[in-house]
């Protein structure tokens, strides 16, 4: 027989509390801080104009987070928080921000030069609609990446490393590309 799903204990009033959600969308909310994200596996903070600094860095504590959508956060991020390198995300959507550079610090460990936890886990990366001017060799450490979108950026150069890994699906200039 299949085991029953665990239920929350009854409170003093006899009412059972519902388990905390694992997926949360705060898209468009005027929040300045995030609730305790311990159980979250998916989070959308797109278009949250007041999320900045410490609130975004705190997401690094989300050990179970697999999907993060952070489009146009805080009016448009100019850089992604370095603390996100410790996340085990399989999907990161940071489109519609104001990123100028490829976020190498998220993917390459500064101490020994190897891949970060994020680089080892990431399968889908959307950095479209930013102001990124190049995709450097550090994209080589994204060994599980299968879908990369860099469309609608200011790309002047794309390192050959983007094309040197296993077959991927992505977009470099507005159209899906197999490479």
pLDDT digits 0-9 by tens, 143-178: 899 999 999 999 887 777 666 654 445 555 554 444
Average pLDDT over residues 49-73: 93
Q: Which pLDDT score, from 0 to 100, does residue 21 have?
A: 75
More confident residue, 57 or 162: 57
How large is the average pLDDT for residues 11-38? Answer: 81
Q: Please report the pLDDT score of residue 36 as a whole number.
A: 77
What's the average model confidence in pLDDT over 58-82?
93
Check whether 45 has a pLDDT greater than 90: yes
User: Residue 113 CA to chain centroid, in angstroms?
Assistant: 21
Residue 90 banded pLDDT, cuts 50, 70, 90: very high
Could you tell me which of 62, 169, 78, 178 has the C-alpha nearest to residue 126? 169
CB 119 within 8 A of CB 142: yes
Rounded (5°) CA angle 31-123-80: 40
Between CA 114 and CA 116 the distance in angstroms is 7
At 163 the pLDDT is 66
Residue 110 has a pLDDT of 85
CA dihedral 57, 61, 64, 67 (to 10 degrees): 0
Output the pLDDT for position 161.
66
What percentage of the chain reaches a pLDDT higher than 70? 80
Residue 79: band (very low, low, confident or very high) from pLDDT cuts 50, 70, 90? very high
Higher per-residue confidence, 66 vs 12:
66
């Amino acid at each position: 027989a299949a085991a029953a799903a665990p239920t929350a204990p009854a409170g003093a009033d006899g009412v059972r509390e519902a388990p905390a959600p694992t997926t949360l969308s705060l898209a468009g909310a005027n929040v300045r801080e995030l609730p305790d994200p311990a159980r979250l596996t998916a989070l959308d903070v797109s278009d949250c104009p007041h999320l900045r600094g410490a609130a975004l860095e705190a997401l690094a504590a989300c050990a179970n987070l697999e999907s993060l959508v952070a489009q146009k956060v805080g009016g448009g991020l100019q850089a992604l928080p370095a603390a996100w390198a410790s996340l085990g995300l399989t999907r990161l959507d940071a489109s519609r921000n104001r990123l100028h550079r490829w976020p190498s610090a998220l993917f390459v460990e500064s101490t020994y030069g190897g891949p970060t936890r994020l680089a080892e886990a990431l399968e889908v990366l959307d950095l479209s609609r930013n102001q990124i001017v190049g995709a450097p060799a550090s994209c080589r450490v994204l060994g599980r990446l299968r879908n990369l979108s860099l469309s609608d950026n200011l790309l002047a150069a794309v390192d050959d490393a983007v094309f040197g890994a296993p077959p991927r699906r992505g977009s470099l200039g507005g159209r899906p590309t197999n490479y």
